[in-house]
Amino acid sequence: MSAELKELEEIPAIPRLKLYEFIARAGTQDYPESFCRRDQRLLATFFLLANRCREGLAAEKEDIELQVSLAVLDEEINRKEASLMRLRGEVDIGERLGRDVQRTREELGSLFDEYQDMLRLRAKWDHPGSSLEAVDETATRYPQTRVYVVKLLTLKRKPRVYRVVPVPVVDPLAPLFVEQLQEPGETLFDVTRQRVWQIFKAVGVYDFYKSQGYMVPKNPLRHARLSEVTNVLNSAQLDRLAGWKIKGTADRYVHLKWDDFVLPLVRAARSAPRLEV
């Protein structure tokens, strides 16, 4: 192994809590409040999209859609089913031991009604002509199933291709991303690469590496995001999220949609520390 490769492998990735510190610090810079808030949104968005700098600045809002993930809906159904089994067990054991299980029975009944309603909603997805109604109802009643789907041009690939990045609304950083979508303009960010680098320097991104004696990656928040999700995605999913070209025949035969790998990202988001800024 070359010394250069070994050095690259040893470079630490910015953890979430450290990123939260950078976001908080961006809010205290000596700029107008609107500029500070934009800097916070930029840090959050660049992390969630795992983009290279130019890709993040070139992202167009028309290539961002709010959709519903069936995978997340199905997981919600499975979670409710598991809770039902647990409560039924508690009722059975309580009755055998002569305990008062009235409150548990009421909880069981309420949860069962929710479970049945969710199954009825899920069945609408399987009937032609009901998809739009099912999407609207799911997005309204179960907002945790919402996902922003971003088509991001992978500038490093030749020929240049789009990669699709799902951003689950349950991620603690998603509110900052959604806030940025409300800003006027056709692109997600109307700043320069030089300004992005200034923000990184001002909040301490570069010092995070330099203080430990490491070289600074060109796209530190991309490194951070991909390092965070590498343990929840398989190799094909990670390739799709990062926009890497799959070597060999896999690129011809593995066809993944955003909904095929959003569930691991949702699970990672649910386990992420809460953001307080």
CATH number at residue 217: 1.10.443.10
15 CA to centre of own chain: 15
131 falls within a domain = yes
276 falls within a domain = no
Q: Does 79 share its domain with 207? A: no
Q: Does 51 share its domain with 113? A: no
pLDDT in tens, 175-234: 999 999 999 999 999 999 999 999 999 999 999 998 888 888 889 999 999 999 998 999
Q: Does 182 share its domain with 57? A: yes
Report how far residue 206's alpha carbon sits from residue 193's, in angstroms, rounded to the nearest whole number: 15
72: exposed, middle or buried (C-beta count within 10 Å: 0-12, 13-18, 19+)? buried
- Max distance between CA atoms of the chain, in angstroms, equals 71
Q: Does 224 share its domain with 133? A: no
Place of tokens 């009825």: 120
277 falls within a domain = no
Q: Which residues contact 277 (CB under 8 A, 6 or more apart)?
A: 20, 23, 24, 27, 40
Report how far residue 238's alpha carbon sits from residue 232's, in angstroms, rounded to the nearest whole number: 9
Boundary of a domain, candidates 141, 167, 186? 141
Q: Does 130 share its domain with 191? A: no
74: left (phi over 0), alpha (psi -120 to 50) or beta: alpha
Q: Does 64 share its domain with 79? A: no
Boundary of a domain, candidates 87, 113, 141? 141
> Residue 5: which pLDDT band, with cuts at 50, 70 and 90?
very low
154 falls within a domain = yes
Amino acid at 229: V
User: Containing domain of residue 85, as a range?
Assistant: 70-141
> Residue 254: which pLDDT band, with cuts at 50, 70 and 90?
low
Q: Does 74 share its domain with 193? A: no
What is the domain count for the chain?
A: 2
123 falls within a domain = yes
CA dihedral 174, 175, 181, 184 (to 10 degrees): -150
109-118, 131-140, 233-242, 253-262 — most confident range: 109-118
Q: Does 248 share its domain with 111? A: no
Q: Does 91 share its domain with 57? A: no
Q: Does 229 share its domain with 175? A: yes
Strand partners, 161: 154
Q: Does 48 share its domain with 74? A: no
Residues 220, 260 contacting (CB under 8 angstroms) = no
Q: Does 164 share its domain with 212? A: yes
pLDDT in tens, 66-95: 999 999 999 999 999 999 999 999 999 999
pLDDT for the residue numbered 97? 94
Report how far residue 133's alpha carbon sits from residue 161's, in angstroms, rounded to the nearest whole number: 33
257 sits in which H/E element: none
Calculate Rg over the CA atoms of the chain.
22
247 falls within a domain = yes
85 falls within a domain = yes
**Taking CA 77 as the corner, what is the angle to CA 74 and CA 78, rounded to the nearest 5 degrees?**
90
